[in-house]
């Protein structure tokens, strides 16, 4: 089966789910004496802001006069304007622009922060027929793995998760996807067909990415181990025909009132052209967020942050780059929904000798505001 046919089959599978559910849209009626679903259209507006001050201890740099300096700057890493809503209890939507640094040398806005589209999708909800939280989306939307992990690792405002930070995945892409929650809170499945070149670039060819994540919660009925989840993710994609761009990630996460933690293993295969050699890479990441001082509210107080990443960009070369992140955060007590936090952290990069590049160390004050 060639690549175009595979993509067509994947797309047809998702489209078929819509087609099978569509005839039922007009067939659902509330039970006798039941309350009919609320189909009043609604629109909500919110924002998410990541801002920081970062001081680079090493490597040093030189200014325009040749003076040795430690680069430091105030920055805004994210400025979402979230517009979400429902046309009915079956149909929902989201539109979210985000900022990016304009880098075009010929632009009068060079160096400025400008808005670009991050999310814009429509969603069909299947809560009436399947488990709650089951849906299909079409448009530019979250990808299955990154969105899932950011719901557990809530320090995206310090930096992206391991697979995204190393350039293997993106948090958003153009495509169609479906999500299904397993009965009994035993886990969920999210799969979709995407362009494969992220939300920041146009589709350059006819290749499509098929991404799927499956998550199992082995003990969902309560107790200490209720927060354990095991996940597997696969991204089957191509740079060009016969030029593989594949990713596999295995993840174990644990959530508890006093500790969130996770460990990831990543394996990737890249061949940018038929004439290019195939490059296999692998790596792992481990992180822990202990609750140090908890206030009355469930998610406020002081937390520690520890994370260690290790990546081997080419398995034929015994050389790794490592990242250590250590921080202390304070989450403000707010009503359920909005969130605000401050994080003091150190982010250190070290490289094996084969890379022939200097190590890096940065100190930052990060802030999150979300409502």
Is residue 26 situated within a structural domain? no
The reported pLDDT for the residue numbered 297 is 54
Contacts of 329 (CB under 8 A, 6+ apart): 155, 302, 303, 304, 305, 341, 342, 343, 344
Q: What is the pLDDT of residues 305-342, one digit of tens each?
A: 999 999 999 999 989 999 999 999 999 988 777 899 99
Closest alpha carbon to 274 in 243, 252, 306: 243
Please report which confidence band the pLDDT of residue 6 belongs to, taking 50, 70 and 90 as the band edges. low
Contacts of 352 (CB under 8 A, 6+ apart): 318, 319, 320, 321
Mean pLDDT within 59-85? 95
Closest alpha carbon to 268 in 251, 283, 281, 253: 281
Q: Which CATH number fits the domain that encloses residue 101?
A: 2.40.160.10
Is residue 81 situated within a structural domain? yes
Q: What mean pLDDT value characterizes the chain?
A: 89
DSSP 262-276: EEEEEEEEE-SSTTS
Do the Cβ atoms of 147 and 256 come closer than 8 Å?
Answer: no
Is residue 32 situated within a structural domain? no
Is residue 329 situated within a structural domain? yes
Q: Containing domain of residue 275, as a range?
A: 3-21+42-370
Cα(197)–Cα(364) distance, rounded to whole angstroms? Answer: 31
Q: Which DSSP state fits 88?
A: S
The domain total for the chain is 1
Distances (CA, A) of 265 to 22, 26, 137, 156, 247: 39, 45, 28, 19, 11
Contacts of 283 (CB under 8 A, 6+ apart): 162, 166, 265, 266, 309, 310, 311, 312, 320
Q: What is the pLDDT of residues 209-253, one digit of tens each?
A: 999 999 999 999 888 899 999 999 999 999 999 899 999 999 999
Q: Identify any residues that bridge with 113 across adjacent strands, giving them in sequence order.
A: 101
DSSP helix, strand, coil percent of the chain (3-state; round to 5): 10, 55, 35
Is residue 27 situated within a structural domain? no
Is residue 31 situated within a structural domain? no
What kind and span of H or E run contains 174? strand 172-181
Please give the structure tokens belonging to residue 172: 């958003």
Is residue 36 situated within a structural domain? no
Alpha helix (H) residue ranges in 243-358:
none
Is residue 35 situated within a structural domain? no
Do the Cβ atoms of 118 and 100 come closer than 8 Å?
Answer: no
Closest alpha carbon to 351 in 360, 341, 364: 360
The reported pLDDT for the residue numbered 165 is 96
Please report which confidence band the pLDDT of residue 137 belongs to, taking 50, 70 and 90 as the band edges. very high
């Amino acid at each position: 089966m060639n690549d175009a046919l595979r993509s067509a089959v994947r797309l047809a599978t998702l489209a078929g789910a819509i087609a099978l559910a569509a005839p039922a849209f007009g067939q659902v009626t509330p039970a006798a004496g039941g309350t009919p679903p609320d189909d009043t259209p609604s629109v909500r507006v919110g924002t998410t802001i990541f801002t920081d001050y970062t001081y680079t201890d090493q490597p040093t740099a030189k200014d325009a006069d040749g003076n040795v300096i430690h680069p430091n700057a105030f920055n805004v890493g994210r400025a979402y304007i979230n517009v979400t809503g429902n046309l009915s209890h079956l149909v929902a939507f989201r539109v979210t622009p985000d900022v990016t640094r304009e880098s075009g040398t010929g632009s009068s806005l060079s160096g400025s922060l400008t808005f670009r589209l991050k999310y814009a999708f429509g969603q069909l909800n299947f809560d009436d027929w399947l488990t709650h939280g089951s849906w299909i989306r079409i448009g530019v939307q979250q990808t299955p793995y990154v969105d899932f992990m950011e719901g557990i690792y809530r320090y995206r405002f310090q930096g992206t998760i391991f697979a995204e930070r190393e350039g293997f995945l993106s948090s958003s892409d153009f495509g169609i996807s479906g999500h299904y929650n397993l009965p009994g809170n035993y886990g969920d499945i999210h799969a979709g067909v995407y362009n494969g070149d992220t939300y920041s670039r146009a589709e350059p060819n006819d290749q499509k990415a098929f991404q799927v994540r499956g998550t199992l919660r082995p003990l969902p009925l309560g107790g200490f181990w209720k927060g354990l989840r095991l996940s597997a993710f696969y991204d089957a994609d191509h740079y060009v025909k016969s030029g593989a761009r594949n990713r596999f990630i295995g993840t174990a996460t644990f959530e508890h009132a006093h500790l969130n933690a996770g460990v990831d293993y990543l394996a990737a295969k890249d061949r940018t052209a038929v004439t290019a050699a195939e490059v296999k890479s692998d790596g792992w990441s481990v992180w822990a967020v202990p609750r140090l001082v908890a206030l009355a509210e469930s998610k406020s107080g002081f937390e520690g942050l520890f994370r260690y990443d290790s990546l081997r960009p080419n398995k034929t070369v015994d050389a790794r780059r490592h990242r250590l992140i250590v921080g202390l955060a304070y989450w403000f007590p707010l009503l359920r929904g909005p969130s605000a936090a401050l994080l003091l952290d150190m982010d250190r990069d070290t490289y094996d000798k084969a890379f022939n590049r200097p190590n890096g160390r940065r100190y930052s004050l990060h802030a999150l505001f979300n409502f």
